[in-house]
Amino acid sequence: MIARTLGPHLRHAASQSPVVVLTGPRQSGKTTLSRACFPDHEYVNLERLDVREFAETDPKGFLAQHAGPVILDEAQLVPGLFSYLQAKVDDDPTPGRFVLVGSHFGLIKTIGQSLAGRAATLTLLPLSLEEARRFPAETGSLSAEGGRASTDDLWTTVWTGGYPRIHDQQLPAAEWLADYAEAYVQRDVRQAFRATHLPRFVSFMRLAAGRAARELNLSSLGLDVGVAPPTIRVWLSLLEAGFLVFRAPPWQPRLRKRFVKTPKLYFVDSGLACHLLGIREPDQLRVHPLRGALFESWCASEIIKARAHRGEANSLFHFREIRGLKLALVVETARHAIAVETMSGATVMFGFPRPLDPFPEHANPPLVARHPHRARRQRPAPQSGRDGSRPLVGHSGRAVGLSDQEVATVRPHLSGHGRIARTKAMGTDLESTSVRGSPSDRSSPGSAS
């Protein structure tokens, strides 16, 4: 076993909360990690029929026998246990008393209803590239021809994916992923739908893989599968609840420009996406027409893993104006936004970073936007008043006093028309006030011309 990045954060959460919930896709290493982080905890697997029946028929007796500290694996199989667990935690809120491990869709919903404010929730996804490289060099997955996969080769890494069992036990990735997809459909999907829907759901998964790193169109996808868009929406929610896919919503930096508001679809594991597309070898992926989309999906997944395995919330977006700037990914942090553009070619061309050039103005917009069609001339910055306020001159020539704190709330429209977003200062509403300034004005948030 290798050290997972989430391990220290899992122990830290257990030192503060009486209940810790570890969730994620099946076979991502949740049980192994929880038992390694809490070796002194009792381990109870609710997958066993006799143990599950005991928990369902006599929850008080079950919790009295397993009073903690204890790891309850597959906890989502007994949702009625959580109400009794709440009373136990209220009586004895010892940190790290209960560690709940599960991967099914109903776990988070049930936790939110019964253990709100008492549980810390963490997500363990498949291996990131950083974690996969922690395995010894002689280990790794096997290709269909029996060759050893290496994390040093990009396309081999994308094709293999990050499920730990493939890397740890040196299993053929293509065969293991085929069994994994079949088990997911037969076990998880069958519980949610009738058996007559399974063939169409398998077709839906394959078509969804073909739309990875693309803006999601429910109507088009439903037309190809042969079901209505509301059904596609439910099926997508099922894949998201199983941590197989995720959506990147559109980034909205408070602009008045027209931009695309449709989310993009990504797969959590690129190896599973390759399997659903019928890609059986890394060399086949190198020349595949969807190589660029799969590479972008792998990059997005690496960002999601990096944040989830450090206990951080997902803040991944995409951005595309109707006419203008287009960015593959935008990562929003507490202080700034980071633009990410992905290119799958081995040769770096001159125009590759071009979409990133105008991004700083979108991420950190200047207070004053210049009008592109009018003559500009530099004027001296107005003097500050006694109260620290500075006049903001509008198109009518009148000055409205804004303090430094109020000025910081103003964000200009970046389409070049120099309109200031609606704000309120000194009891006066400013709506669509046109402002023009010189390049030197950008350096001072309180200056304007």
- Per-residue pLDDT at 106: 62
Are 250 and 327 in the same domain?
yes
Task: State yes or no: pLDDT of 425 exceeds 70.
Answer: no
> CB under 8 Å to 249, separation ≥6 — which residues?
263, 317, 318
245 assigned to some structural domain: yes
- Report if residue 2 sits inside a domain: no
- Decide if 292 is inside a domain: yes
Evaluate whether residue 1 is within a structural domain: no
pLDDT-wise least confident of 274-278, 290-294, 330-334, 439-443: 439-443
Q: 71 and 100 in one domain?
A: yes
Q: What residues contact residue 422 under an 8 Å CB cut-off, 6+ apart?
A: 429, 430, 431, 432
Flag whether 403 is in a domain. Answer: yes
Q: What is the pLDDT of residues 313-340, one digit of tens each?
A: 888 988 887 777 788 888 888 777 888 8
Residues 6+ apart with CB under 8 A from 116: none
pLDDT at 90: 86
Q: Look at residues 123, 146, 169 and tell me which one is the last residue of a structural domain.
A: 123
- pLDDT given at position 417: 35
pLDDT higher than 70, residue 274: yes
Mean pLDDT of the residues in the chain: 77
Banded pLDDT at 296 (limits 50, 70, 90): very high
DSSP string, 83-101: HHHHHHHHH---TTSEEEE
pLDDT at 339: 84
- Can you give the pLDDT at residue 33? 95
Q: Please indicate, yes or no, whether residues 192 and 312 belong to a single structural domain of this protein.
A: yes
Q: Is the pLDDT of residue 386 over 80?
A: no
Q: Looking at residue 409, what is its pLDDT? A: 35
Same domain for 355 and 382?
no
Mean of the pLDDT values across residues 399-417? 36
Angle at 242 between CA 38 and CA 320, to 5 degrees: 115
Count other C-beta atoms under 10 Å from residue 327's C-beta. 21
Q: What is the pLDDT of residue 384?
A: 47
**Boundary residue ending a domain (316, 331, 362):** 362
Residue 371 pLDDT = 33
Beta strands in 82-221 (DSSP E): 98-102, 119-123, 214-215
Contact predicate 298/269, CB 8 Å? no
pTM (2 d.p.):
0.76
Q: Which range marks the domain in which residue 74 is found?
A: 7-123
Which amino acid would we find at residue 348?
V
pLDDT in tens, 60-99: 999 999 987 999 999 888 888 888 888 888 888 889 999 9
Q: What is the DSSP letter of 142?
A: B
One domain, residues 168 and 284: yes
Share of the chain above pLDDT 70, in %: 70
For 245-282, the DSSP string reads: EEEEPBP--S--S-B----EEEES-HHHHHHHTT--SH
The label of the residue with tokens 């830290």 reads 12
Residue 12 inside a domain? The answer is yes
> For the chain, how many structural domains are there in total?
3
3-state SS, residue 10: helix
Q: Assess whether 180 and 211 both reside in one domain.
A: yes
- For residues 45 and 102, state if they share a domain: yes
Question: What pLDDT score was predicted for residue 204?
Answer: 94
CATH number (domain holding residue 22): 3.40.50.300
**Cβ 193 vs Cβ 245: under 8 Å:** no
The confidence score (pLDDT) of residue 281 equals: 93
Which residue among 95, 123, 151 closes a domain?
Answer: 123
- 171 domain-assigned: yes
Q: Give the whole-angstrom CA distance, residue 329 versus residue 247.
A: 12
